[in-house]
Amino acid sequence: MTISTVGIIGAGTMGNGIAQACAVVGINVVMVDISEAAVQKGIATVSGSLDRLLKKEKISAEAKDAALARIKGSTSYDDLKGAQIVIEAATENYELKLKILKQIDELVDPEVIIASNTSSISITKLAAATSRADKFIGMHFFNPVPMMALVELIRGLQTSDATHDAVKELAERLGKTPITVKNAPGFVVNRILVPMINEAFFVLAEGLATPEDIDAGMKLGCNQPIGPLALADMVGLDVCLAVMDVYLAEFGDSKYRACPLLREYVAAGRLGRKTKQGVYSY
């Protein structure tokens, strides 16, 4: 399958990032959201991101204009009919994703691939709600999409080899490095990452070191570009807590018990950068 047009549901951070990644390599994009304001905000975000690349001389003015011209914003799902793949990048809410996926499934041709950018919801479960489970796959991009090289390709129990191969080829065209994983809570990266962040909170709660020293230790000792506590502030402490609670419920293993200090920070509204206060102040 040759993918020349990608449909994207959601013009938020992930949706517009995926749109930019597609547009700069010559792939047409239809980006759909519920309101014109949301669509225009998403396009403006892409334009601003491309402007920054232009200032750094990483792209030309002509390339920027050409990329923007490839992105069509819309509030109508009907505009997705010309796409060979539709990527759902809506809020991480199962009921919402289910509603969107059923609408897409009924609308687009049977051969169209449907992908979800979910970071935690079961691909097997989402696929089963459609009439094309074999053409359903997880395509988990990382934020910020234009900069991050990784894409997790999550195969549900029903995902066909042909679907996987077509989506892997698309990821490579975007300049990404895809890894293939089986469906499981947290997939691979977050399954390892979030418990590490949680353990950093246990270390902090036990008073073993300051936040600064914990982060410096992991940066310098493990060659990580950012420490786990600073990363938690970036991700959102509420998100980290929610993920740990999902792991505990899904696996039934006490090793996924959320640190009480993490729970306290969330209860206090100290969620990280988005509230200007988390482990650190912003």
Point out the residues that are catalytic: 119, 140, 152, 190
Sign (positive or negative) of CA dihedral 24, 30, 32, 37: positive
Residue 91, CA distances (Å) to 11, 33, 44, 95, 117 in order: 11, 11, 20, 10, 10
Determine which helix (DSSP H) or strand (DSSP E) holds 250, and give its type and residue range.
helix 237-251
CA distance linking residue 204 with residue 206, whole number of Å: 5
Q: Could you count the other beta carbons within 10 Å of the beta carbon of residue 249?
A: 10
- What's the start-to-end Cα distance of the chain, in Å? 47
CA distance linking residue 267 with residue 252, whole number of Å: 24
Beta strands in 148-240 (DSSP E): 150-155, 177-182
In this structure, the dihedral spanned by the alpha carbons of residues 75, 79, 85 and 87, taken in order and rounded to 10 degrees, is 0
Q: Length of the chain, please? A: 282
* φ, ψ at 63 (rounded to 5°): -65, -40
Q: Is 11 exposed, middle or buried (0-12, 13-18, 19+ CB in 10 A)?
A: buried
